[in-house]
Structure 1
Amino acid sequence: MIIRVPSRTELPALRTIERAAGEAFRALGMAAIADDEPPSLAQLSAYQRAGRALTAYEEPGRATTADTPPGQPLGYLLWEPVDGCTHIEQVSVHPSHAHRRIGRALIDHAEQDGSPAPLTLTTFAEVPWNAPYYTRLGFRTLTDPELTPGLRAIRTHEATLGLDRWPRVAMRREPTRPGLWP
């Protein structure tokens, strides 16, 4: 698998991935999440220009599915610095490429590309491919007193968007690669 910052011409494909990945929420009674608009091209472009967008691609010569032509992104991750941490804003994998450790590879790559800092994210507590998945990747749920000011602001913003209709948590993972943490 190849992971790199996407080109400007690949940004529309990230919106397609997000829409496809969001469809799984419909089966959980979370149609509002499935129907939510992906990040705009302007938002994706800002992450891309800052070097905080990562995309995963099939290695040359490997077969892809009809849903993903050769050379197209299979998944993507957006991150931003929040309170000294690398905060994962979004990670999505096209469902036709699920269960291939693409999300894990993107998260691990974000850890390597960001400063030597912990990773944080906010997510749905009871969605199997959200908090339980991140727990398997070494994240732990933060208690309310552990929330940093930046994470509190993110959670407040999520609540204004109506995401708190379903239980949400903030999570953190300490750097996993030797030498990343002083």
Structure 2
Amino acid sequence: MNVDALLDRLLAKEGGFVDHPADRGGPTNWGITSAVARGEGFMGDMADLPQSLARSIYRRRYWETPGFHQVAEIAAAVAEELFDTGVNMSPAVAVGFLQRALNALNRNGRDWADLAVDRSIGPATLGALRALLRVRGQAGACVLVRAMNALQGARYIELSEARPTNEAFAYGWLDKRI
């Protein structure tokens, strides 16, 4: 999997500087919130956040650290979905969706054991993904991505219901992320 191409697609989707009044994350640039940028040592105006820094943050915090690169070695489409969801909702939420979907697809533990939904990529999660591909082939990866998208879509609706100002983002979330 070409991570640079994945980052190119993400940055095109995220766009440049935005300061939407309904966004709890405050000003963002390339999809990076000011809190994340500050945590990475960037102290300038968010409108000036370099794309190169955004790429570095995404690669480390949203690809390597959560272990999505390990998933890419097994199923690239699943890793790409984890990355995109992780950027928008957090890597832990994305992994939780993966684990829940794998549990739902294991035919009551006949194909692999249920996973603890610990929201962390580890040997058991990677083993369950490998088992899914052994049992279902590449079609299994496609169904898994659909299941993860279903969970993600439901979460967007829940976020909009819980905080009506999130409705400003619901259409874009469902259009660009699902």
Q: Which has the higher strand share?
A: 1
Q: After TM superposition, is the score higher than 0.5?
A: no
Scaled by the length of structure 1, the TM-score of the pair is 0.27
Q: Kindly indicate whether structure 1 or structure 2 has the higher relative contact order, using CA contacts under 8 Å at least 6 residues apart.
A: 1
Larger Rg: 2
Scaled by the length of structure 2, the TM-score of the pair is 0.28
